[in-house]
A = this chain, B = another copy of it.
Amino acid sequence: MSLDQAAHKPHEALAALLADDMGRVNDLIAARMASEHAPRIPEVTAHLVGAGGKRLRPLLTLATAQLCGYEGPYHVHLAATVEFIHTATLLHDDVVDESAQRRGRPTANLLWDNKSSVLVGDYLFSRAFQLMVETGSLRVLDILANASATIAEGEVLQLTAAQDLATDESIYLQVVRGKTAALFSAATEVGGVIARADEAHVKALFDYGDALGIAFQIVDDLLDYQGDTAATGKNVGDDFRERKLTLPLIKAVAKADTEERAFWVRTIEKGKQEDGDLETALELLNRHGALEDTRQDALKWAQDAKDALADLPDHEIKTLLIDLADYVVARIS
């Protein structure tokens, strides 16, 4: 059932269902990214926001608030908050990664400079903070403050864990929670909190967002090794070339014999890569079933996401959220 529906892109179905609210979110984003004094701010932000992206995170907040019967105005503020935090982290990530492309366009750090990316990211983060204060909910503020700290901590951890062959699956999970799942789970949790859903449902929404975010990131990391460049917009092996210890590699390193380990030390820790190394890496990943194991992990997290919603009442939105979990892993199923 759900794989068929997945083909219809459940996030687009959600966007259609929540189009009025999403329109309000977009208006609020446009109003708040303006700056009376510093025109550089909306220039940089418009470049990124204008490039689109699926607006998945604000959709999750709108969806969970409506699923829990919310009728007030503040889910719009929270959805805009979540998108601002996401955009701010993208701007800072592109500086940290020295990226040249994002969403198929040159990055802000390339078009303007790193300075603008750092400072406009700070500005958007402050704007996010103002928006959430307007909701008047200290609990929402607590959730988003904690999510922000987890995001920043995960990013720093990624910096030190990268290229370190001692990085294991538990460190990987912390990094993934920071870079992806913390904002997904905050987005779904605050939707329930603002609607004053009961605690079990709030917990369920948190668990859904957490597992969905983890599945989402594992799929991304898996497709880096076996994706279709035309579909993913990434080249196969980018993470290998950038010496990033993602889940497939971590699994292969854990099973490496002495000779294989020397290969990983040379290519990842020391970064001395030669022609043919990517092919060798792929061969090692397959030899130890690392890609298949990674795929199974992603499917397990997607199943966890669906299971988390079990006790929530039947609702059109609940069905779409379940479909969304299937859709996230559809590309690797």
Residues of A within 8 A of B (CB): 35, 37-41, 89, 92, 95-96, 114-116, 118-120, 122-123, 125-127, 129-130, 133, 136, 138, 141-142, 145-146, 148-149, 151-153, 155-157, 159-160, 171, 174
- Residue contact A37 to B95, C-beta cutoff 8 Å: no
CA distance A136 to B145 in the complex (A): 13
Q: Identify A148's interface contact among B40, B120, B129, B146, CB under 8 A.
A: B129
CB-based contact A149/B127 at 8 Å: yes
Tell me whether A126 and B138 are in contact (CB under 8 A): no
Q: Which residues of B contact A149 (CB under 8 A)?
A: 123, 126-127, 129-130
Bound-state Cα–Cα, A149 to B130, Å:
8
- Which of A127, A149, A174 has the most chain B CB within a 10 Å cutoff? A149
Which one of B37, B141, B146, B153 contacts A38 once the chains associate, using CB atoms below 8 Å?
B153
A174 — which chain B residues lie within 8 A by C-beta? 37
**Nearest CB in chain B: distance from A221 CB, A:** 19
> Given A39-B160, A119-B159, A159-B40, do A130 and B153 touch, yes or no (CB 8 Å)?
no
Known: A95-B118, A119-B152. 20 other contacts (CB 8 A): A35-B156, A37-B153, A37-B174, A38-B153, A38-B156, A38-B157, A40-B156, A40-B160, A92-B119, A96-B115, A96-B119, A115-B159, A118-B118, A119-B155, A120-B156, A126-B151, A126-B152, A129-B129, A129-B145, A130-B146
> Across the two chains, which residue of chain B brings its CB closest to A155?
B119
A-B contact pairs, 7 of them (CB 8 A): A41-B156, A120-B152, A123-B149, A125-B125, A129-B129, A130-B142, A133-B145
Copies in the complex: 2
**Distance of A148 Cα from B129 Cα, bound (Å):** 9
Most chain B C-beta atoms within 10 Å of own C-beta, residue among A40, A136, A153:
A153
Shortest distance in angstroms between A110's beta carbon and chain B's nearest beta carbon?
15
Docked CA distance A138–B137 (Å): 8
Inter-chain contacts of A142 with B (CB < 8 A): 130, 133
Contact between B129 and A160 (Cβ–Cβ < 8 Å)? no
Chain B residue with the shortest CB-CB distance to A32: B149
